[in-house]
Structure 1
Amino acid sequence: MFDVLVIGGGAAGLMAALTAGQHGRSVAVLEHGPEVGRKILISGGGRCNFTNQTMRADRFLSANPHFVKSAISRYQPSHFLDLLAKHRIAWHEKKLGQLFCDNSAHDIVQMLLNECAAARVRILTDVRVYDVSKSDVFRVQTSRGDMTARSVVLATGGLSIPKLGASRFAYEMARQFGLAVIQPEPALVPLTFGGESEEWVRSLAGLSLPVRVTCGKTTFEEALLFTHRGMSGPALLQISSYWSAGQPLFVDFLPGQDIAALLMKLKKEGSKAKGAGALARWLPQRLAHAMVELGAPERTLAEWADRDIRLMAQRVHSMELKPQGTEGFAKAEVTRGGVDTKALSSRTMEAQSVPGLYVVGEAVDVTGWLGGYNFHWAWASGHAAGEVAGAL
């Protein structure tokens, strides 16, 4: 018999467990893998982008855009930094407010384990959970026998990175208890292309450059990477969370500059450079040639009509590309969708129709931007659930 059983030993689960344990409750974490925190360990190139200095609700996607406000206002980046300071873990800030460990993501996992140990939380690995039911208390059927608890926290994540053991367990349990689930989809994921677009994109594989990419009303300005399968890089991963099948993307390959004005100036100067040679002054050479191959006069720039320059400028600053799909959950950093926030309390993460049942982290229909937001949602939602479950 435990006060709190946390199913899932990732970022959100460990935070929920140590927070509940600090209230003096008997807590156990049930992890189906051989170790806890595996997604933490591979994140941020092994240094874990654990949070972001700029923590705002508009950096998260959800059917209810206000849902995150309570948790992230009560558990802020400064709170996690205080925890790092307590354990003497050095960190640094990269671009756009992203915070990383100086040393290794292992430091974060060890810190969470040390906090769990101090709170007398039991960590059980290689435990399969078969079913969860509730009468007066929760009964959890596992590969180590039946366990009971007053509260259960579902922290088994989403479907991203299946090689780490991603599963539908949280969704299945949520539905079993009558909670709605919004269709899970890959997010922060590379996009793929078909037809002529595929050939054009693949011809540029390996090329990376800063761009501005737009989907609908959403725009990101960061690096884009062409791959043999399609497009990736921070800008593309960010916009992928907002992209739906059939939607076009518009890419500005030279943000902040006016290629029409630049080319017109060269024309007036009587430039003898041909299209690719002229464009290569501002664009990578391979991209300049690829732009010209899509259609441009063979003549020198001095012989281009003004209309030719306008058409090239439109291509450079607003190229329309239509992705065919994504590389799926195998390459997705997180999952979009999940347990419907309508079923949960935004303050406690508790299921409103099932007292004592909490859902946290990636399992919930909350998806953050690239750059530490998803980890912070794990800390904040886990802390919110642990505070309440531990106080009961």
Structure 2
Amino acid sequence: MQQYDVLIIGAGAAGLMCAAVAGARGRKVLLIDHARAPGEKIRISGGGRCNFTNIHASPKNFLSANRHFHKSALARYTPADFLALVERHGIAWHEKTLGQLFCDDTARQIVIMLLEECRAGGVELRLSTSASAIERRETGFSVRVGEGTVEVSSLVIATGGKSIPKMGATGFAYEVAERFGLPLVEQRAGLVPFTLDPATLEMLAPLAGIAVPAEICCGRTCFREALLFTHRGLSGPAVLQISSYWRPGDEIRIRLLPEVALAERLVEAKREAPRQSAANLLAAFLPKKLAQLLVEQAGLGGGAAGDLSDKALRALAERAQDWRLKPSGTEGYRTAEVTLGGVDTSALSSQTMEARDVPGLYFIGECVDVTGWLGGYNFQWAWASAQAAGQAV
């Protein structure tokens, strides 16, 4: 029987960060993961360069059944705090659009940084190691770790959600929560591409691979970023963002070229080049195949645009900028970047991430019912929730 102050299950972003923080406080920490390498989702994130935070991160960029829960942790550990850590380790970085911060070189630098922080705090890391048989004791918990048993005063669950199961994602955190009577919020795939019904997919098949600027809305929520047509349906940043707000049966509204007064531009183009076809006029603003499809859907044919009324061209523009589709579903956890829902925040302390009715038990990161937008927000939640727990364990 081995004894530690803290056992952290899950060596991803949140687990590594929490271990580093707790170790720096002088706590005896054991960090385990069933994977063969730590921080695998960090490694593949951001196209291999890790979108490690977003300078605009604020509570409004997160979804939760309790919209106030995450405010405390995010306020106490900000993007500037994590950026300071990155710079202290000499990692070069750059800002892309919308406040997204990336490594100049490789995402592995963030993993190495966190491992160095863990080593500095004396954290013991065991990989290819699973946990089971978690039992509550008077002074904490006993946990079967690999072939042995450890006793700890604090147990931190940082095993993430169900997204990307091929990388080892499981529902372990939810099983532990249920084991100790904590409520769960329904889990579903978030930041995930849409699938379409066969007829719509066949209609859009020629567009596979085409990306265009768009505003996509579901209800009152809208995002302006790129839309990508795929052989399965719709993807791209705008689609991934809105997918977290979409429910089966919901309609989405697509506004192509949201910053262009398309109706006026088409009418002007007709007067300047009346012999051009409507498809050619529209192709000045949109990819040719997409323009052709929209013209065919509008029933305008291939005649000269000069023969069309201004009203017909305005209707064509409206079709492009108020395009309504009803996805048949999503690609699910297989390609989802995050898992929505999870451990109900009503059961946790917003100050420490500790279970209110189970002293010494903590949940951090993606397994908690706090989900960020695309663009570094979920990493910021991982760092902030881990910092909160690491200071408390």
- Could you say which TM-score interval applies, normalised by the shorter chain? over 0.9
Q: Which runs of 5+ in 2 are unaligned?
A: none
Question: 1:160, 1:329 within 8 Å by CA — same for their partners in 2?
Answer: yes
Question: 2:270, 2:276 within 8 Å by CA — same for their partners in 1?
Answer: no
Confirm whether residue 361 of structure 1 aligns to residue 365 of structure 2. Answer: yes
2:378 to 374, 378, 385: 374
Work out the CA distance in 2 between the residues paired with 1:195 and 1:132.
Answer: 47
1:97-176 equivalences under 5 Å are: 97-136=99-138, 137-176=140-179
Distance 1:198 1:139, change over 3 A: same
User: Aligned partner of 1:146: which letter?
Assistant: T
1:316 to 306, 317, 320: 320
Question: 2:39, 2:111 within 8 Å by CA — same for their partners in 1?
Answer: yes
Partner of 2:212: 209
Work out the CA distance in 2 between the residues paired with 1:55 and 1:295.
Answer: 41
User: Aligned partner of 2:155: which letter?
Assistant: V
Partner of 2:87: 85
Partner of 1:250: 253
Question: 2:298, 2:319 within 8 Å by CA — same for their partners in 1?
Answer: no
1:344-355 equivalences under 5 Å are: 344-355=348-359
Instruction: Provide the TM-score with structure 2 as the length reference.
Output: 0.97
2:296 to 281, 293, 298: 293
Name the SS of the counterpart of 1:239 in structure 2: helix
Q: C-alpha offsets along residues 55-74 of structure 1, whole Å, 9 cap, x if unaligned?
A: 11000011111111100100
Deviation at 1:142, TM superposition (A): 2.4
Question: 1:3, 1:27 within 8 Å by CA — same for their partners in 2?
Answer: yes
Q: Which runs of 5+ in 1 are unaligned?
A: none
Confirm whether residue 341 of structure 1 aligns to residue 345 of structure 2. Answer: yes
Work out the CA distance in 1 between the residues paired with 2:376 and 2:212.
Answer: 22
Work out the CA distance in 2 between the residues paired with 1:230 and 1:284.
Answer: 17
Work out the CA distance in 1 between the residues paired with 2:30 and 2:237.
Answer: 37
Work out the CA distance in 2 between the residues paired with 1:131 and 1:289.
Answer: 61
Question: 1:183, 1:338 within 8 Å by CA — same for their partners in 2?
Answer: yes
Work out the CA distance in 1 between the residues paired with 2:271 and 2:100.
Answer: 45
Work out the CA distance in 2 between the residues paired with 1:297 and 1:87.
Answer: 60
Deviation at 1:185, TM superposition (A): 0.7
Question: 1:269, 1:302 within 8 Å by CA — same for their partners in 2?
Answer: no
Deviation at 1:270, TM superposition (A): 6.7
Deviation at 1:202, TM superposition (A): 2.0
2:7 to 2, 5, 16: 5
Instruction: Provide the TM-score with structure 1 as the length reference.
Output: 0.97
Deviation at 1:135, TM superposition (A): 2.1
1:380-391 equivalences under 5 Å are: 380-389=384-393
2:56 to 54, 57, 61: 54
CA RMSD of aligned residues (A): 1.2
Deviating beyond 6 angstroms after TM superposition, the runs of 4 or more aligned structure 1 residues are none
Q: How many residues align?
A: 389
Partner of 2:67: 65
The percentage of aligned residue pairs carrying the same residue is: 51
